[in-house]
Structure 1
Amino acid sequence: MNLPRIMVAPNGATKTKADHPALPITLDEITETARACRAAGAGALHLHLRDDAGGHLLDSGAYREALAHLRPRLGDMAVQVTTEASGRYAPGHQRYVALQSGADMVSVSTREMLRDEARLATRFYEEAEERGIAVQHILYTREDAEALAQVLPARLFRSPTLQLIFVMGRYIEGQVSTPAMLSPFRDWMRDEAITPDWAICAFGQGETACLRAALEAGGKVRVGFENSLVMEDGRPARDNAERVAAIAALQSSAGCPVSGQSARSERLASGS
């Protein structure tokens, strides 16, 4: 299973409608947003759920119900579930949810997995592979990447189906991202002589510039309100679909097709 060129992350674990009124919270809102983003050019949804109080929720039963709701409504749009701890969940719970949610795509932070014993992380990666679950490994720094190389079985680490996402700007003061933040990860892939299926996400107003750099380097991207609420010129985005359409237009200008892209995405990107 390959990553799509563009994945949308429409809400994240902590933002609320106070941050942006178009941020989707309920499952119905997430569904509507995902459909609009699919039409704008996104090939997959990065799914976060919230509890009744709006807090971050990792629950295998809730994920199963959400996936049953989403799959018939999203057509060929893939759904990846998050296992983000967000300060609420321990690695054992995260592993359980990843394996029991019914998802065939999950994102997992190496840094969070290694809060527990390394052997437990290794066994989890093996079990996910045995079950046909595609794990996208979240890496914040080159040090995270080097740690992943130590705990991931070699046959998985060297596989061209290895899925990575490099996170740019998350732990920088003000969550400012720049294209230069991609260089340590590209250097690491070169030094390890690996050719994984890689993507990036980036925080703040620098999001678009970073995603452009990744696309030009042959990578893939995740875009959306989880990471940034603004367009490249700093104005607030109308909604997630406008962010997706802007990145789909970048992908199109590079001469590469985007799943779900249409004339509508170009109109959204231009604001018409």
Structure 2
Amino acid sequence: MSPIMVKACLNGSRKPGDHPALPLTPLELAEAARGAREAGAAAVHMHPRDEAGRESLSPAHIGAAVRAVRRACPGMPVGVSTGLWITGGDPQARSEAVRTWAALLREDRPDFASVNLSEPGFPELWHDLRRLGVDVEAGVWTTGDAEALAATGLECARVLVEVIGGAEDTAVSRAHAVLGRLDELGVPGPRLLHGEEAPAWILVDEAGQLGLATRIGLEDVLHSPVGDPVEGNADLVRLAMARLA
């Protein structure tokens, strides 16, 4: 098995129909998480949905998804998104939604949640999550985000170096710029490197070269490294594990 930690990102903001195996319901997320774990994933990240398939921060939907995945994959760390778009770009509504997770049993709360530095309200949401016993993953997309994270002085369970969009041939240099700035600023915490769409597989390989954690799943990419269609999350994890071995 690869020593590189691989996190499976099960669905993201994909819409129903984007892929035949896209998991949306708690049962589908649990089945996808089980398959990803069997393929070698060490953790999962997901975007729980409401009954209409829309992303949700409601405790009912967060709790149902986390509970289902925990039953299917005992002991596996489970994380969720707090993307600001989920509450229509309203940081206050997001914080209020996250605080309602206090009504959940501890075992129905996620182990960690990702928070993007490019979105307003990072320090407040960090404190809200930590009060709930939920670890924070800091989503850092740019050197500016790295500087913003350093300015907070807050420590995170992981720093997600995320190369979002842009050309494939600049993905590695952009990743190194962010990683280098984090190091220059002395930002603590382990790094996880990944990309979305075209750069996704390039950055899985680069994470392997650097000995960093990475992630793969239908949130990030819908095809194999050679462009072939994939069956689902477990298929993507198996392909990543083989490249990192």
Same fold (TM over 0.5): yes
Which residue pairs with 2:106 in the alignment?
none
Read off the aligned partner of 1:125 and give its amino acid letter.
W
Contact 1:201 1:221 in 2 (8 A): yes
Q: 1:105 aligns with which of 86, 94, 112?
A: 112
2:27 match: secondary structure? helix
Instruction: Report the CA distance between 1:180 and its aligned residue.
Output: 2.4
- In the TM superposition, residue 99 of structure 1 has moved relative to its aligned partner by 4.3
Shift of the 95–10 alpha-carbon distance from structure 1 to 2, 3 Å rule, reads same
Partner of 1:231: 224
Q: TM-score, normalised by structure 1?
A: 0.78
Return the alpha-carbon distance in structure 1 between the equivalents of residues 158 and 98 of structure 2.
15
Q: Deviations over 1:96-148 (max 9, x none)?
A: 34444322311111121x2x5xxxx4344234334432100111111111112
Are the structure 2 counterparts of residues 131 and 89 from structure 1 closer, same or farther at C-alpha, using a change threshold of 3 Å?
same
DSSP-derived class of the 1:46 partner? strand
Work out the CA distance in 2 between the residues paired with 1:28 and 1:123: 32
SS at match of 1:247: helix
Which residue in the other structure is 1:259 paired with?
Answer: none
Name the counterpart of 1:45. Answer: 44
SS at match of 2:79: strand
CA distance in 1: counterparts of 2:29 and 2:157, whole angstroms:
28
Match of 1:249 among 220, 242, 245: 242
Give the alignment of 1:136-147 within 5 angstroms. Answer: 136-147=137-148
User: Which residue is equivalent to 1:31?
Assistant: 30
Amino acid at match of 1:68: R
Deviation at 1:244, TM superposition (A): 0.4
How far is 1:227 from its partner? 1.0
Contact 1:16 1:23 in 2 (8 A): yes
Structure 2 CA distance for partners of 1:54 and 1:176, relative to 1, 3 Å = farther
Pick closer, same or farther for the CA change 1:77–1:138 going to 2, 3 Å.
Answer: same
Deviations 1:132-177 (A, max 9, x none): 3210011111111111222x2x3x34xxx6421111133x37x987
Q: Flag the 1:137–1:30 CA change in 2: closer, same or farther, 3 A.
A: same
Alignment of 1:3-152 (within 5 A): 5-17=5-17, 19-86=18-85, 88-101=88-101, 102-112=109-119, 114=120, 116=121, 121-150=122-151, 152=152
How much is the aligned-residue C-alpha RMSD, in angstroms? 2.3
Per mean C-alpha deviation after superposition, the further-off stretch among 207-216 and 88-97 is 88-97
1:222-263 Cα deviation digits (max 9, x unpaired): 111111101111111121111101111233x2xxxxxxxxxx
1:213 aligns with 2:180: no
- Asked whether the 8 Å contact 1:98–1:106 carries over to 2, the reply is no
Cα 1:123–1:50, aligned 2, differ >3 Å: closer, same or farther?
Answer: closer
Pairing 1:152-171 to 2, within 5 Å after superposition? 152=152, 154=153, 156-157=154-155, 162-170=157-165
Match of 1:256?
none
* Unmatched 5+ stretches in structure 2: 102-108
Quote how far apart the aligned CAs of 1:75 are.
Answer: 1.6
- The number of aligned residues is 234
CA distance in 2, matches of 1:78, 1:177: 32
- Aligned-residue identity in percent: 25
Task: Measure the CA separation in 1 of the matches of 2:13 and 2:233.
Answer: 16
Q: Distance in 2 between matches of 1:45 and 1:99?
A: 22
Cα separation, 2, equivalents of 1:33 and 1:239: 8
| Secondary structure class of the residue paired with 1:225 | coil
